[in-house]
Copies of this chain bind each other. A is one copy, B any other.
Amino acid sequence: MSEPARGFASDNAAGAHPEVLEAIAAANVGHAPSYGADAWTARAEEIVRGHFGAESRAFFVFNGSFANVAAIDALTRPYEAVICTNVAHIHVDECGAPERIAGAKLLTVTTEHGKLTPDDLRRWESRRGDEHHPQPRLVSITQATELGTVYTLDETRAIATAAHELGMLVHVDGARLANAAAALDAPLAALTTDAGVDAVSFGGTKNGLLFGEAVVFARPELAERFAYTRKQLGQLASKMRFVSAQFEALLEGDLWRRSAGHANAMAARLAAAVDPIEGVELTHPVEASGVFARLPPATIARLQAELAGGPAFHAWGDEPGEVRWMCAWDTTAEDVDAFAAAIARAMASGSG
């Protein structure tokens, strides 16, 4: 009984929340106009506006990769650049899609815990106006970050202010925005539109949907032509009601916050359980649903072998010895405790 029923590889490894599946089944009645001209989509868009502000505009898409790419494409010209961290998902994990599709150069900043600061935005200003260099136009921050940390409201506001002063817009890769909102105990708008953010990729998949993300623009003029961008980039679902119905289920009540808050709590529980273990070092503050730790490479290998039946967790980064443990909406306290116990055993036997 030492093995957790669910692993810690990714919140993408979890399935869909039962309430989400129920919403899909409920939407599966008769015919409905395709491509978003249906009643579910109208309702879901209204619900998103309730979260992000009356001036906001939402577009549902298939996945987070292209929520980000389409947002970048919509907000930049090909000769403009995007400032992000060196661990940004758009930089590291998208097979070069932002560059290829949006033509955008990514200007990266090395950070300690995955968070940009206002000062980082000014690094390229000496080349403003010089045609030999892509012109910074968009700042993309990830919230919660790829390293499990969270920007405070003030930090986000400071970045937005600095960006706007420099003539730039701010995009939030919010694949785990719900986790950040739960961590900060703040509404979604407080983290984004109210803090000066111009566009958000709001993640549904990692928060318990089958699939589906929303691109949210803070103001209508930013969204004016996004319908074309979404279509041209292959992200317009023909049976849209089945994306929209999921978002309705997620965002109408507090399912999004319950799920995200639970994942966060499980990460905190895991961090608390492993922190005291001799030889395990947490590498980043545990502020959302991910725990990052350093432990002996041999122990990592032993642990991965022991927890058979799929990768229980992934190594992290290019250097051996660091791991990422992600909690999901369905991670249980028992999963966490069993996993922490397995880690403790592995560490103990490693030192034996």
A interface residues (Cβ-Cβ under 8 A, vs B): 5-7, 9-10, 12-16, 18, 21, 24-25, 27-35, 62-66, 69, 73, 77-79, 81, 92-97, 99-101, 103-105, 123, 126, 131-135, 205, 210-211, 225, 227-239, 241-242, 310-311, 318, 328, 330
Contacts and interface: CB of A to CB of B under 8 A. Distances in A.
A316 B13 CA distance: 44
A37 to B, nearest CB: 8
Q: Which one of A29, A225, A239 has the highest number of Cβ atoms from chain B below 10 Å of its Cβ?
A: A239
Contact of A234 (B30, B97, B310): B97
Q: SS class of chain A's interface: helix, strand, loop or mixed?
A: loop
Contact of A10 (B34, B100, B227, B311): B34
A81 B92 CA distance: 12
A226 to B, nearest CB: 9
Contact of A95 (B13, B24, B134, B330): B134
Oligomeric state, in copies: 4
B236 A63 contact: yes
B231 A95 contact: yes
A163 B232 CA distance: 24
Nearest to A230: B131
27 contacts: A12-B239, A15-B32, A15-B241, A16-B239, A24-B210, A31-B310, A31-B330, A35-B131, A63-B238, A65-B236, A77-B228, A79-B225, A93-B132, A95-B134, A95-B228, A95-B232, A96-B104, A97-B231, A99-B105, A101-B234, A131-B231, A135-B228, A210-B210, A211-B211, A211-B238, A211-B239, A233-B234
Contacts of A235: 62, 234
Contacts of A64: 238
